Amino acid sequence: MNGKVSARKIWETTLFFAQWEQHTVEMPGIIEHLYELRSNEEKNIASGVAPGAKPEYGIFESKFNLFTDQHPGIQKLKSFIGDRLCATVGHMNNVDPSKVRVSATESWFHITNDGGYHDGHHHHDCSWCGIYYVQAGDVKPPDANAVTARDGVNRFFSPLASGGAYCDLGNEYLKTGNFDITPEDGMLVLFPSYLLHSALPYSGEQDRIVIAFNTKSFRAE
C-alpha cells in the first residue's frame, strides 16, 4: 500500500453570507418603521409562535408577515434578499439563478435587549432561512477565556447525530458541535432549515434588531 486515499465530501452543511450595499442609506428609515410597528402591538411575542422558547421580557417578535409591508426600504431589502437566495439555491443545485424563483413564506423581526434570547429551534415547512442584521447593537469581541457564553450571538449546532458515539482520534474532528456568528450591521446569513440554531441572551446599550424569514424555492416556468 502507498498510503494514498481519495476523498469525497457528502452531506456538507453550507451557510451563505452577503452584505447589503444600501444598508447605511436605508436602515434609518427601516429602523424607525420597525419601532413604529412594535408600538402598535400589545404583546411582546406578537406572532404568538413558540412563546415557550422566548422569555416574557427582553425580546419583541413581530407578526410573520413583514415582507408584505410596503415600506420602500423593506421592499428594497426584500429584493436584495430574494436575489441572494436565487444565487444560493442555484449554487447548491447547479441551476442557473435566473431560473430560480423564491417565495418568502414567513418574515418577521426581533428587537432584543435586557437578556432577551431565543432558545434552540428548527424552522419548518421551508427549505432555506435567513437572518439579516438591521442593527447589531453592542458586539463584544470573542474571548477564548470567557466563562459565560458570548453575548447575543447566533449559535448554530451540528446536524450530525453523534450523541453518545464513541470518541477517539478517528472522529475528533466532530467535537466542534456549534458555530457562532457575530452580528454585523448589514450582514445577511442564509442557512438550510434543518439546522438547529439559537440566539443567546443579549444585553447592550443599543437594541439588537434582526429581520428573519423562511422561504421556498422552485424552478421558473
CA distances from 83 to 93, 114, 192 (A): 16, 34, 17
Question: Nine-digit cell at 143?
Answer: 474571548
In this structure, are residues 185 and 136 in contact, taking their beta carbons and an 8 Å threshold? yes
- The pLDDT confidence band at residue 163, using thresholds 50, 70 and 90, is low
Q: Is 190 exposed, middle or buried (0-12, 13-18, 19+ CB in 10 A)?
A: buried
d(CA 24, CA 27): 6
Taking 90 as the threshold, does the pLDDT of residue 165 lie above it?
A: no
Domain ranges of the chain: 16-140+149-155+176-219
Q: What is the average per-residue pLDDT within 156-181?
A: 81
Taking 50 as the threshold, does the pLDDT of residue 148 lie above it?
A: no
In this structure, are residues 187 and 17 in contact, taking their beta carbons and an 8 Å threshold? yes
- The pLDDT confidence band at residue 164, using thresholds 50, 70 and 90, is low
Element (H, E) at 73: helix 72-93
At the fourth CATH level, the homologous superfamily of domain 16-140+149-155+176-219 is: q2cbj1_9rhob like domain (2.60.120.620)
Taking phi first (over 0 means left), then psi (-120 to 50 degrees means alpha), and beta for anything else, what does residue 3 get? left
Taking 90 as the threshold, does the pLDDT of residue 166 lie above it?
A: no
What is residue 12's predicted lDDT score, i.e. its pLDDT?
87
CB 41: neighbour CB atoms within 10 A?
14
What is residue 3's predicted lDDT score, i.e. its pLDDT?
76
What is residue 105's predicted lDDT score, i.e. its pLDDT?
96
> Any bridge partners for residue 185, and if so which?
none
CA distances from 219 to 30, 105, 211 (A): 31, 16, 26
pLDDT in tens, 36-62: 999 999 999 999 998 888 988 899 999
Question: In this prediction, what percent of the chain has a pLDDT beyond 90?
Answer: 71
pLDDT in tens, 13-36: 999 999 999 999 999 999 999 999
What is residue 139's predicted lDDT score, i.e. its pLDDT?
78
Question: Nine-digit cell at 182?
Answer: 457575530
What is residue 167's predicted lDDT score, i.e. its pLDDT?
80
